[in-house]
Amino acid sequence: MLKVLKNLKKSMGAVLAIIILLCIQAAADLALPDYTSKIVNEGIQAGGIVSSVPEVISKEDMDKLLIFTDNPDEIMDNYELVGNEKTKSQQKTINKYIGEDKSVAENSLYVLKDLKDEERAQLEDKMVVPILEMTAVSEQVDEMADSIEDQAAVSAVKTIYQNAGVDTDKLQNDYILMSGLQMLGVALVSMVSAVSIMFLSSRVAAKLGKTLRDKVFKKVLTFSNAELTEFSTASLITRSTNDIQQIQQLITLLFRVVVYAPIIGIGGFVKVLTSTDNSMAWIIGIAILAILFIVGTLFAIAMPRFKKLQDLIDKLNEVSREILTGIPVIRAFHKEKKEEGRFDSANKDLMKTNVFVNRAMSMMMPLLMFVMNSIMVLIVWVGGHNVDQGTMQVGDMMAFIQYTMQIVMAFLMISMISIMLPRAAVSARRINEVIDKEPSIKDKKELKKFDPNKKGLVEFKDVSFRYPDADTEILEDISFTAKPGETTAIIGSTGSGKSTVVNLIPRFYDVTGGELCIDGVNVKDVSQKDLRDIIGFVPQKGVLFSGTIESNIKYSDDNMSDEQMKKAAEIAQATEFIETKEKKYQDPIAQGGGNVSGGQKQRLSIARAIAKDPEIFVFDDSFSALDFKTDSELREALAEKTENKTVIIVAQRISTILNADQIIVLDEGKMVGIGTHEELMKNNETYRQIALSQLSEEELNQNQKGKEE
């Protein structure tokens, strides 16, 4: 998984922005319970009075207060008696508490001086007891908890304010309104941060998905046939789509959860220990242990099945692809029911595993919600007792509930992301298998250039080959030379290794023994690009790409002239059907060439190779779908085009290779003959049997006479 996450380097700016925004959001979310506590404790219960030190106090109440203190000067030093001329500070305080439109009689009101926080705290300690004694609750002071003592003192201050002419209802409403607006502002910051985080996370995830698809696709393009066989096409498609989609979905939520949840969880726990009554902190410990137990148990059960899911998706894709590709054969043999059963089996295996995993994971949320609701009930029950005993205020209990829910939700979020994590981890491993796979065929660090004096020369020198997973040689001691201006044909029974020989030329496979040289240089010593640039390869199965006839013929060079394209189509005998199309060369070609016949597909594939104008032409049984007339006309036109080119043809039909300059006869991976048609008919029994199995002695003789004439 970490290897996959390294691909986020290009998005580090966005990632840092997400982390900063997450910290801002967490700070905002952690501040909200404090506002709730203040609104309940100070706004509702205390009437908007935040301190037991009155900001204004009438002269009459001050005189009463001083009776109950041993050091009246310590209190009086912090107050100023309002005279006829008021200072700006005094007027501001009077406007806030008494009102701008109300007058204050001279020497009738004391106003608190501007004090620092430390000075105010010291004064509060000195005034709490005198205020409580002044309001006739002195007999209870010693029995009160600190929080209840402060609350009682604040209530006494309310009476003092009323005696001084303060509108306490307005004071309360203003406090609640201001706190509410501040709370809304904090909530707005949290919302904007959350929206920005999701936006950036989605972009980062989409960019990562693009990067991974790009890497996987580019790596697959470097694979030889050996690697393609190892992974299978169905698996590579799944890894490029479904697996990367799993990673992308995880990344969308990863920062939101993996970064945010610890911040909010740790921050909430610190707030519980420092900002509120921490006597109930043990409840949070119980909640966390219960959540970890539930998540751990479910994962121990479901984790093995997570690992099977992607393999089962591979299997389903493989079966689906095979069935859809083979529909004509399935219908021809009336095997629909059998194939439906095969698909149903793969589908059921995937369904059963999905159902098991989803059932296990679907139990998680109800269990976790039960834990969360139970914890809430426990907090209310314990907190209610504490409120009743006077050791906790209602607002503190409400704040504790909110902090606890934030901590529990942090763990819930982590547990929810952990549902996706195992499957994404499996997907990441499968993606890394492709990205980290070293192709068996790759260019050397020091490369050579082709010898211009041996242009078009193809030399097989005691070449042997075996597939990577095979125990025996597929080809043994293959030695021949294909020269420019000559046609070399390869023929043999099915499975004799004809296609394998020509697949070695463009280096789709590497020889395992001997040496294959082109233009006088071993193919392993030149770059694959340079090698394939000089080869026009037509595979056994014609492959066309979605687009137009023009785009397929010009596949080797988009800037190719129309004249060159049309000339190639003419040589390949493709103009016959192209001219009948409504849009001619602009006529669309469906994916895989599904809207053209097999013969038309082969002719367009041949035209594509001819248009490239390479040094070496390789035709891997590329005339099999052509009728004899078209085959003959095509070879005749091709002979003129390839007058100075090297032509290598793999063929099943004797008529295609009768006029070849040399014919290679293969049997079970070995060369059993080489020569012209006439020489092989006389000296090679294998070739003679192949020839006579297709044409009679008389037809072969007629062809020979025609050639001599």
User: What is the edge-to-edge ordering of all strands in the sheet holding 79-81?
Assistant: 56-58, 109-112, 79-81
DSSP 395-419: HHHHHHHHHHHHHHHHHHHHHHHHH
User: In 3D, which of 108, 114, 63, 61 has the Cα closest to residue 87?
Assistant: 114
**Which is more confident, 565 or 7?**
565
Extract the tokens encoding 104: 């204050």
Is the dihedral angle over the CA atoms 439, 440, 444, 447 positive or is it negative? Answer: negative
Work out the end-to-end distance of the chain between its first and last CA atoms, rounded to an integer number of angstroms: 72
| Model confidence pLDDT, tens digit, residues 292-341 | 788 778 777 776 777 677 678 878 888 888 888 788 788 888 888 888 89
What pLDDT is attached to residue 109?
87
Mean pLDDT of the chain: 83
CA atoms within 13 A on the CB side of 680: 31
pLDDT tens digits, residue range 377-431?
A: 888 888 888 777 766 777 777 878 888 887 777 777 776 676 677 778 778 888 8
Contact between 564 and 617 (Cβ < 8 Å) = no
* b/e map 403-427, b = 16+ CB within 10 Å: bbbbbbbbbbbbbbbbbbbbbbbbb
Q: Is the pLDDT of residue 113 over 50?
A: yes
Q: What is the mean pLDDT of residues 653-659?
A: 80
Taking residue 275's Cβ as centre, other Cβ atoms within 10 Å add up to 16
Residue 549 has pLDDT above 50, yes or no: yes
Q: What is the pLDDT of residue 171?
A: 85
pLDDT of residue 470: 74
- % of the chain beyond a pLDDT of 90: 8
8 A C-beta contact, residue 286 and residue 375: yes
Q: Is the pLDDT of residue 443 over 60?
A: yes
Q: Is 44 exposed, middle or buried (0-12, 13-18, 19+ CB in 10 A)?
A: middle
> pLDDT for 500-544, tens place per residue?
899 899 988 889 889 999 998 999 999 988 898 999 998 888 788
- Per-residue pLDDT at 191 exceeds 90: yes
Are 550 and 560 spatial neighbours (Cβ–Cβ below 8 Å)? no
Q: What is the pLDDT of residues 213-222, one digit of tens each?
A: 888 888 888 8
pLDDT at 74 over 60: yes
How does strand 670-675 pair with strand 535-538? unpaired
Paired tokens of 143: 């029995």
Distance of alpha carbon 39 from its chain centroid, rounded? 44
pLDDT of residue 146 exceeding 60, the answer is no
Whether the predicted pLDDT of 145 surpasses 60: no
The Cα 486–Cα 493 span in angstroms is: 23
Contact 90, 67 (CB under 8 A): no
Banded model confidence at residue 702, pLDDT cuts 50, 70, 90: low
* Percentage of the residues of the chain whose pLDDT score is greater than 70: 93
Q: Which residues contact 349 (CB under 8 A, 6 or more apart)?
A: 312, 315
Q: Which band of pLDDT confidence, cut at 50, 70 and 90, is reported for residue 697?
A: low
**pLDDT score recorded for residue 139:** 47
Q: What is the pLDDT of residues 241-255, one digit of tens each?
A: 888 888 888 888 777
Say what the pLDDT of residue 310 is.
67
Report all structural domains of the chain as residue ranges with CATH numbers, in order of start: 2-33+177-436 (1.20.1560.10), 55-163 (no CATH), 442-534+647-709 (3.40.50.300), 535-613 (3.40.50.300)
pLDDT at residue 252, as a whole number: 82
Q: Which of 491, 487, 523, 490 lies closest to 508 in space, CA to CA? A: 523
β-bridge pairing 646-650 and 475-482: unpaired
- 496 strand-pairing partners: none
- List residues bridging with 482 in a β-sheet: 458
**Assigned token pair, 274:** 């420092």
* Sign of torsion over alpha carbons 423, 426, 432, 438: negative
The pLDDT value recorded for residue 181 is 92
Q: How far apart (Å, rounded) are the C-alpha atoms in residues 354 and 318? A: 18
pLDDT for the residue numbered 188:
94
Sorting pLDDT into bands at 50, 70 and 90, what band is 277? low
Q: Average pLDDT of 570-575? A: 88
**pLDDT tens for each residue of 665-678:** 998 888 888 988 88
Position 517 scores a pLDDT of 93
Q: What pLDDT does residue 636 have?
A: 83
Q: Under a CB-based contact definition with an 8 Å cutoff, are residues 565 and 585 in contact?
A: yes
**pLDDT value of residue 369:** 81
Q: Are strands 646-650 and 616-620 parallel, antiparallel or unpaired?
A: parallel
Distance CA 215, CA 3 (A): 13
